[in-house]
Structure 1
Amino acid sequence: MNLNLKLSLALIAGSMMAVSCGGSGSSSSESTSSTTPPPAPEPAQEISLEEKYKDDPVFIRGVELMKQNDCPSCHMIERKIVGPSYADVAAKYESTDENVEMLAGRVIAGNVGVWGEIPMPAHPALAKEDAEDMVRYVLLLKK
């Protein structure tokens, strides 16, 4: 056998032995396998309050009553226009019987000064029970 062939076979045998023994010829403790980190989790998609509560009976009744009245002229669920957003009102007040009664009274009688100097007009024709249902709906809309 010629010398070049013997050297080539020796190199191949040595390489096979190093690979089969898991050695790479390095004394480093690094892993020879390439691992990719798991993909970063996608950020949770924020859903709207409308989507969050769409199946709640209080929400359904409240939306119905709000649409029958002039509430959408000044209020939106998550954005201030003339008056505060419903979400801002829900953040300010706990959903208690006392707050429902007090806020329903403000809806019926009108109010000014709590959210600024633009007055909320009175709604004297609104039934107390309907006003309370509307307030319960608003107070449901917590973020």
Structure 2
Amino acid sequence: MKLIFALAAVAALASSPAFANLDMAKKNACMACHAVDKKLVGPSYQDVAKKYGGQKDAAATLAKSIKAGGSGKWGPVPMPAQAALSDADALTLATWILAGAK
């Protein structure tokens, strides 16, 4: 019986929004260049949240940047456009990043 409750708890955690958004980031290859807490090729998500978090319409601005890509914001390496990502998914990722990617 305890095993059933433990498995149910794990399933509930795995289906939480944070895990879903991490899965979305992995599925769309975001984690190849970004990490939650350290710089890789691109900035950490925590650094992105610090830079944009207090700005008006930060989630929409970041979602637009995710879809369009860009260069010069974080150094010389350009971020490729993620044009195939839906607007809703880009906004979901942006909101997750701004929340500290937790």
* TM-score, reference length from structure 1: 0.56
CA deviations 1:41-70 (Å, max 9, x no partner) are: xxxxxxxxxxxxx78x44223112101111
Does residue 78 of structure 2 align to residue 119 of structure 1?
Answer: yes
* C-alpha deviation, 1:97, in angstroms: 6.7
Cross-structure match for 1:50: none
SS of the residue 2:57 aligns to: helix
Output aligned runs, 1:1-143, within 5 Å.
57-94=16-53, 98-141=57-100
- Gap regions ≥5 residues in structure 2: 1-12
Cross-structure match for 2:3: none
Distance 1:115 1:94 in 2: 16
CA RMSD of aligned residues (A): 2.3
* C-alpha deviation, 1:96, in angstroms: 6.3
Cα–Cα, structure 1 residues 105 and 79, in superposed 2: closer, same or farther, change >3 Å?
Answer: same
Distance 1:58 1:137 in 2: 9
Asked which structure has the greater CA Rg, the reply is 1
* TM-score, reference length from structure 2: 0.77
- Relative to total residues, which structure has the larger helix share, 1 or 2? 2
Distance 1:80 1:69 in 2: 18
Distance 2:72 2:56 in 1: 22
Could you list the runs of 4 or more consecutive aligned residues of structure 1 that deviate by over 3 angstroms after TM superposition? Answer: none
Contact 1:95 1:136 in 2 (8 A): no
Higher relative contact order (CA 8 A, sep 6+): 2
